[in-house]
């Protein structure tokens, strides 16, 4: 009986060791080639930023491996000595551009085509117009930019009044930019989960997969129990505030008091399956065009150039083989098109 127990213990110990070895091997492979552990750090104003100089491997849509700069953005540090023109791009995940390698994003493309130009990337996933304006107000001075490029897209128009985030509040005489202070403390379970994601790429990947599956199941249930057509329209991507143009004008005026030289860059969503390609939500584009007319600002609209490239090459400028071609973020082809247009505009601002 004793020998049997000892033998069982040895087999159990060997099995446990094998499992640990496999998990460690998976962790190493994931860290090197698939996904890094979470590197987010809490921020009292902007919820979180990525840890400075953290290594990033991104593979859920497109693929890239990079190291962030001292601000936690997907870029190198600003040059110690300012060149003739430094442009700061502030935007969301289209600017962050983790789906492609850093030298393939539109900011890097523009910088490579204009002598004397430095483009600093300050893109962070999930940001909307209020977040961008708050960052310009509170943090942009660290970059000492000569001009700003504000990146916007169709989905931004639904992100003005998220009360739990940085948002715009309507007042009797206009609007107010509200920057809620994020609580520093969290529950023990939340802290434990965050610590585990920072420690393990495997756990981080599992958590992300659970989030995706949860979102897909929620969408499936919403579709199954969808409201009548009239109500469903209220939930579409065109359901932006009726005063969206006024809100954009307000935010522009707030930023232009600090940085008078501002360029807007609109990133469209295109349905490549219809009529050789057309805008998914042309109404949203009209909001930005009307805003630009009212404020007299430059709005770079690459829609026609992206469609022209699609007709020339037969390849969409959005989407990736490991996600869905034609949908999602821009691929390297799309970034090249946008980067060229951005370079042409920034070249005009060289001293």
pLDDT at 237: 67
**Residue 290 token pair:** 């009307």
Coil, strand, or helix at residue 292? Answer: helix
pLDDT at 181: 81
Q: Which helix (H) or strand (E) holds 27?
A: helix 2-29
pLDDT at 125: 96
Cα–Cα distance list, 22 to 37, 70, 83, 202, 320 (Å): 18, 34, 50, 12, 30
- Give the chain's domains with CATH numbers: 40-347 (3.40.50.1110)
- Three-class secondary structure assignment of the chain: CHHHHHHHHHHHHHHHHHHHHHHHHHHHHHHHHHCCCCCEEEECCCEEEECCCCEEEECCCCCEEEECCCCCCCCCCCCCCCCCEEEEEEECHHHHCCCCCHHHCHHHHHHHHCCCEEEEEEECCCCCHHHHHHHHHHCHHHHCCCEEEEEEEHHHHHCCCCCCCCEEEEECCEEEEECCCCCCCCCHHHHHHHHHHHHCHHHHHHHHHHHHHHHHHHHHHHHHCCCCHHHHHHHCCCCCCCCHHHHHHHHHHHHHCCCCCEEEEEECCEECCCCCCEECCHHHHHHHHHHHHHHCCEEECCHHHHHHHHHHHCCCCECCCCCCCCCCCECHHHHHHHHHHHHHHHHCCCC
37-41, 81-85, 196-200, 305-309: segment of lowest average pLDDT = 196-200
How much of the chain exceeds pLDDT 70, in percent?
86
Length of the chain: 351
Cα–Cα distance measured from residue 82 to residue 240, given in angstroms and rounded to the nearest whole number: 39
Please say if the pLDDT value at position 187 is more than 60. Answer: no
Please say if the pLDDT value at position 184 is more than 80. Answer: no
**Residue 13 token pair:** 């110990």
Q: Decide which of 21 and 167 is more confident.
A: 167
Cα–Cα distance measured from residue 266 to residue 257, given in angstroms and rounded to the nearest whole number: 22
Give the confidence band of 21 by pLDDT, cuts at 50, 70, 90: confident
pLDDT at 295: 97
pLDDT at 38: 86
pLDDT digits (tens, 9 = 90+) for 42-82: 999 999 999 999 999 999 899 999 999 999 999 999 999 99
Q: In the block, which residue shows the tokens 């490549």?
A: 272
Q: Decide which of 266 and 225 is more confident.
A: 266
pLDDT digits (tens, 9 = 90+) for 90-101: 999 999 999 999
pLDDT at 199: 66
Please say if the pLDDT value at position 314 is more than 50. Answer: yes
Give the global pTM. Answer: 0.87
Looking at the chain, the number of H-run helices and the number of E-run strands are 11, 13
**Residue 188 token pair:** 């023990």
pLDDT digits (tens, 9 = 90+) for 248-295: 999 999 999 999 999 999 999 999 998 889 999 999 999 999 999 999
Q: How many CB atoms are closer than 10 A to CB 206?
A: 12
Please say if the pLDDT value at position 312 is more than 70. Answer: yes
Mean pLDDT, the chain, as a whole number?
88
pLDDT at 36: 85
Q: Decide which of 302 and 223 is more confident.
A: 302
């Amino acid at each position: 009986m004793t020998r049997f127990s000892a033998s069982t213990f040895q087999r159990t110990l060997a099995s446990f060791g094998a499992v640990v070895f496999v998990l460690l091997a998976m962790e190493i492979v994931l860290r090197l080639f698939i996904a890094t552990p979470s590197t987010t750090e809490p921020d009292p104003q902007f919820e979180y930023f990525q840890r400075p100089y953290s290594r990033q491997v991104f593979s859920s849509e497109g693929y890239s491996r990079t190291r962030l700069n001292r601000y936690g953005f997907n870029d190198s540090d600003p040059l110690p000595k300012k060149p003739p023109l430094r442009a700061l791009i502030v935007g969301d995940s289209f600017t962050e551009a983790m789906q492609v390698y850093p030298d393939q994003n539109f900011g890097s493309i523009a910088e490579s085509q204009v002598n004397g130009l430095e483009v600093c990337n300050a893109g962070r996933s999930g940001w909307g117009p209020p977040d961008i304006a708050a960052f310009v107000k509170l943090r942009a001075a660290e970059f000492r930019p000569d001009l700003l490029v504000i990146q916007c897209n169709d989905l931004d128009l639904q992100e003005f009044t998220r009360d739990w985030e940085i948002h715009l509040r309507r007042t009797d005489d206009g609007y107010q930019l509200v920057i809620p202070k994020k609580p520093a403390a969290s529950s023990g379970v939340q802290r434990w989960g965050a610590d585990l994601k920072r420690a393990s790429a495997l756990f981080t990947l599992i958590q992300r997969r659970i989030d995706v599956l949860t979102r897909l199941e929620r969408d499936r249930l919403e579709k199954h129990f969808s409201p009548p057509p009239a109500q469903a329209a209220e939930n579409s991507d065109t359901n932006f505030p009726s005063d969206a143009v006024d809100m954009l004008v307000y935010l522009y005026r707030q930023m232009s008091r600090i940085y008078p030289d501002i360029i807007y860059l609109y990133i469209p969503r295109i349905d490549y399956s219809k009529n050789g390609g057309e805008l998914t939500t042309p109404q949203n584009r009209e909001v930005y065009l009307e805003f630009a007319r009212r404020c007299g600002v430059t709005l770079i609209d690459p829609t026609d150039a992206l469609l022209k490239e699609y007709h020339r090459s037969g390849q969409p400028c959005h989407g990736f083989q490991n996600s869905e071609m034609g949908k999602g973020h821009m691929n390297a082809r799309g970034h090249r098109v946008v980067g060229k247009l951005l370079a042409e505009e920034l070249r005009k601002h060289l001293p």
